[in-house]
Amino acid sequence: MKRPTTSHGFFLASVGIGILIAILTLAKVLKTQLETNPTQVWSFFFGLVLASILTVARSIKGWRPSLILFAASSCLVSYSILGVTPTTTPETNWFLFLSGAIAINAMILPGISGAYILVLLGKYKYILSAVNNRDIFTLAIVLAGAAIGLTTFVRLLSWL
């Protein structure tokens, strides 16, 4: 396995700082907009994900029937998942840790939204409220999960 270089560390730090700034500056706006205009906000998120999917799709050279079938199947699975979002999920520390670990991995993969993953896990509004209420303990658990998840996932990706 290749060792990470200093440039990887700078890149990850830049991405992390950008994510942190975005969360801190937009949390109250998002909370308000989700309460007053939920359809428009989720449409905006969907548009961002769709744009990143199209960007990745354009970079693939030589679309084969198997790739098209895989892409179509992935879209169908994603669409079907929309209807199975749990109404309640545990608000325990282990689940918050796990949510952070899974969401950060989605954020580093093109075409997948970390916010969408948190919605599927039923923790988007909960974590958004923790940001707005400056609930340091809850945020520390989520961030610890994100740090461990990112470290583990990057090693897995480099191994592949």
Domain extent for 53: 13-159
> Is there a domain that residue 112 lies in?
yes
- Please give the tally of structural domains in the chain: 1
Q: 138 or 60: whose pLDDT is higher? A: 138
Give this prediction's pTM: 0.65
Tens digits of residue pLDDT in 62-117 = 888 888 888 888 778 777 766 665 667 888 999 999 999 999 888 877 667 788 78
> Is there a domain that residue 7 lies in?
no
> Is there a domain that residue 122 lies in?
yes
> Is there a domain that residue 3 lies in?
no
Count of alpha carbons within 13 Å of 31, Cβ hemisphere only? Answer: 14
> Is there a domain that residue 29 lies in?
yes
> Is there a domain that residue 154 lies in?
yes
